[in-house]
Structure 1
Amino acid sequence: MIPITCVMLQRQHLLMALLAFEGMILTILVTIMILMLYSWMFVTLIILTFGACGASLGLACMVMMARSYGNDHISSLSTNKC
């Protein structure tokens, strides 16, 4: 519940929202590893892979947005500016 509220509170910068999202992925991974007692290592590997793919896509979108808009403010993503 705490990582979800962190994502909701980070409304200014995209980088902070991405960091909160990565914290949420790592929290889910650690919870699964503790609950399964290392018996399903394949599932944890899949979750880690999806987390890495999500992080790379988010970083690529942030770099593209910073190059085109000049900042990483989430308010720059408004569709009303088109």
Structure 2
Amino acid sequence: MNNSTMTIMYLLPLLAMTNMMFNQAHFLMTLLSLEGITLSLVLFIPLILMNTHAPNAALTVILLTFGACEASLGLGLMVLMSRSYGSDMLKSLTLTKC
């Protein structure tokens, strides 16, 4: 891979975390940001391990498994929240309502 591709791959986790910090109005946008972080780590960690000549096949599968679990739990929470409160706005969650 050339230098620009590697630079983009190294910046993906940072960009995904920045997106997570600034998109916190809706629960769905927060879930999508978390999924972006997970997928960027699935790409980023094997690249780092490849540069250090470490085996990386098992770690990639484990990260994908955690990503699938995170997505299913997040969607379940979003459905529960939209049924209970009528929207997916994170600002509507307060301790007095729970």
TM-score by length of 2: 0.76
What is the match of residue 70 of structure 2? 54
Query: 1:59 Cα deviation (Å)?
Result: 0.6
Structure showing greater relative contact order (alpha-carbon pairs closer than 8 Å, 6 or more residues apart): 1
Cα-to-partner distance string for 1:9-56 (whole Å, 9 max, x where unaligned): 112100011001100111111011222339311111001101110111
What is the match of residue 30 of structure 1? 43
RMSD between aligned residues:
1.6
* Alignment equivalent of 2:80, drawn from 51, 64, 75: 64
What is the match of residue 5 of structure 1? 18
User: Among the aligned pairs, what percent are the same residue?
Assistant: 44
Letter in 1 for 2:59: V
Inter-partner Cα distance in structure 2 for 1:61 and 1:12 = 16
Unaligned runs of 5+ in 1: none
3-state SS of paired residue (1:72): coil
TM-score by length of 1: 0.89
What is the match of residue 17 of structure 1? 30
Unaligned runs of 5+ in 2: 1-13
Query: 1:75 Cα deviation (Å)?
Result: 0.8
Bigger Rg, which one = 2
